[in-house]
Structure 1
């Protein structure tokens, strides 16, 4: 289950810090932060999980909660192999979970 289904006030700070208040099994919500640069990179103009440092190669980074289930979609202009920029998007819920009130990266691909 994606973290967004058990979290609130999901935000992106400084272009790479995912923050949220995540519910614990007790129902209490705790503040959590996850540095996306530790798990998300950019290769040839596309986001790449299990890589790092995407924000070093990105501009116009923003997080939008989209669709009827408010999927957390990260959008950015990323450098491609020719030195240009291309827009890419990644669903953060694919590889991030809420584990006992904390945002955690999970191997997903």
Structure 2
């Protein structure tokens, strides 16, 4: 299950740090942060899990909760390696989970 289904106040800080209040097994919620630059990079103008430092190759980074289930979609203009910027998006719920109140990257590739 994606972290967004058990988290509140999901935000992006400094263009690369995911923040949220995540529900614990006990039912209470705790503040958690996860630096996306440690797990998310770019390849040819697209987001790439398992790479690093996407924020150094991006502009106009924004997080939106989209669709009927509020999927956490990260949007940005990413350098394609030739100096051109391309629109890209990635669903953060595909690789990030809430583990007892903590945002955690989970291998997903």
TM-score when normalising by structure 1: 0.99
Match runs of 1:10-89 below 5 Å: 10-89=10-89
Instruction: Provide the secondary structure at the position in 2 that maps to 1:10.
Output: strand
Give the secondary structure class of the aligned counterpart of 2:55.
helix
Segments of 5+ residues of structure 1 without an aligned counterpart are none
Give the equivalent residue in structure 2 for 1:107: 107
Report how far residue 47 of structure 1 moved.
Answer: 0.2
Query: How many equivalent pairs are there?
Result: 109
- Runs of 4+ more than 6 Å apart: none
RMSD: 0.4
Task: Tell me how far 1:81 sits from its aligned partner.
Answer: 2.7
Give, in whole Å, the separation in 1 of the partners of 2:84 and 2:4. 32
Structure 2, unaligned runs of 5 or more: none
Give how far 1:82 is off: 2.0
